[in-house]
Structure 1
């Protein structure tokens, strides 16, 4: 979820969330088995995605505590962080479901 148009509003700086660069995946050298030459593969992407999900949820939780205690000056920061955490969770669950469906379909294939 991008909040690139909000930077100029009231000095708000969007939360620092790491993003994947699809172009770098296309230009990275690949080995004969299709794996990235730099040692990054599908497993690394999954691990990074889960770490990003945990970081996003932790940020949302911290801002929720600040909002509940009255320490948060701008409530929109929590609202954006909570929405970002929700969307990230939904994406992760959808990817897990698709991977499970693919695994089930492979297991049904006759040998």
Structure 2
């Protein structure tokens, strides 16, 4: 590796980083009157599953483009692949916690 290759790496380090996108909490927070305002729990879970599915489909498309050599920016492809992997892992953890909570409720004696 030559010393001339290092300045090109520095250009990637100075590239702007996309800010994370968060869902607004107001939709899921209970209202002052005791009711739930906005989307219900099933709607939130469904939307989360759709988001994870969309990320996985995008990653699959990126991998196909990478295999055919049609990728312009390998760095962005790798970032999207890692984001989809983390999203899938988070979804699996949430699923496991939901199943544990359901099993705990089912074990309760009335």
Asked if these proteins are the same fold (TM beyond 0.5), I'd say: yes
Q: Which runs of 5+ in 1 are unaligned?
A: 1-5
- Larger Rg belongs to: 2
Hey, what's the Cα distance between the residues in 1 that align with 2:109 and 2:29?
Answer: 36
Q: Aligned to 1:73, what secondary structure does the other structure show?
A: coil
Runs of 4+ in 1 over 2 A off after TM superposition: 24-32
TM-score, structure 2 normalization: 0.75
Normalised to the residue count of structure 1, the TM-score between the two structures is 0.74
Of structures 1 and 2, the one scoring higher in RCO (CA 8 A, sep 6+) is 1
Give the aligned partner of residue 46 of structure 2: 47
* Deviation of 1:78 (Å): 1.4
**Length, aligned pairs only:** 99
Q: CA RMSD in A?
A: 2.8
Unaligned ranges ≥5, structure 2: 1-11
Greater share of helix residues, 1 or 2? 2
